[in-house]
Amino acid sequence: MLKRRCLLGAGLFAGLGAGTTLPAAAAEIDLRRHGLVLLMRHASTDPGIGDPPGFRLEECATQRNLSAEGQAQARRLGPALAERGWVPQRVRSSAWCRCMDTGRLAFGNVESWPALNSFFQGRGNEQAQTTELRRSLAALPAGRIEAWVTHQVNVTALTGEGVVMGEVLLLHGGSDQARVLQRLAPA
């Protein structure tokens, strides 16, 4: 059945027990009419902002990577969503190792998508990347669920929202407005 309720409150990731009632304000997504994007900031990293001097995209050792807690967060995320029927058919990620690792640990297969790459500190092209994300969101077919793993600056440019590491925003497909339906706390 394509119509599913999105009953994902912050408690989902805090270890809700069976029988726990989720907030009445949980968003309802009709997948017969809309797609859904799980827009997420990468899981928790080693301390720091941006990347260290000597950063090279093709070499993870030169980047700020997931911490042990971030790895555990990512591993909890996929199963928590799957228990509720939210299994992305496609997982796209920034090429940064912390994003690729978040997607891989949460969902298994992940593909790099330059539109999700960070444009912090002058890298990338904020306007072009955000335009591509908006186009892809608008073109998302009904019934499709995708996960997009990216960085704070990208999330804010697309939605106007700030997020903490590991947080997920649910976005309606079929519109380029990136309307946030619900926020999901880190796993």
Beta strands in 55-134 (DSSP E): 90-93, 111-112
β-pair partners for 90: 146
pLDDT, tens only, 112-123: 999 999 998 778
Q: What is the pLDDT of residue 84?
A: 73
The torsion angles phi and psi of 179, rounded to 5 degrees, stand at: -75, 125
Q: What is the pLDDT of residue 29?
A: 67
Say if CB 37 and CB 14 are below 8 A apart: no
What pTM did the predictor assign?
0.84
Q: What percent of the chain has pLDDT over 70?
A: 84
Residue with the bigger pLDDT between 23 and 75: it is 75
Q: How confident is the model at residue 25 (pLDDT cuts 50, 70, 90)?
A: very low
Token pair for 14: 């805090």
Beta strands in 97-178 (DSSP E): 111-112, 145-150, 168-172
Token pair for 97: 């190792």
pLDDT, tens only, 125-156: 999 999 999 999 999 999 999 999 999 999 99
Top CATH class, 33-46+56-184: alpha beta
Would you list the domain boundaries of the chain?
Answer: 33-46+56-184
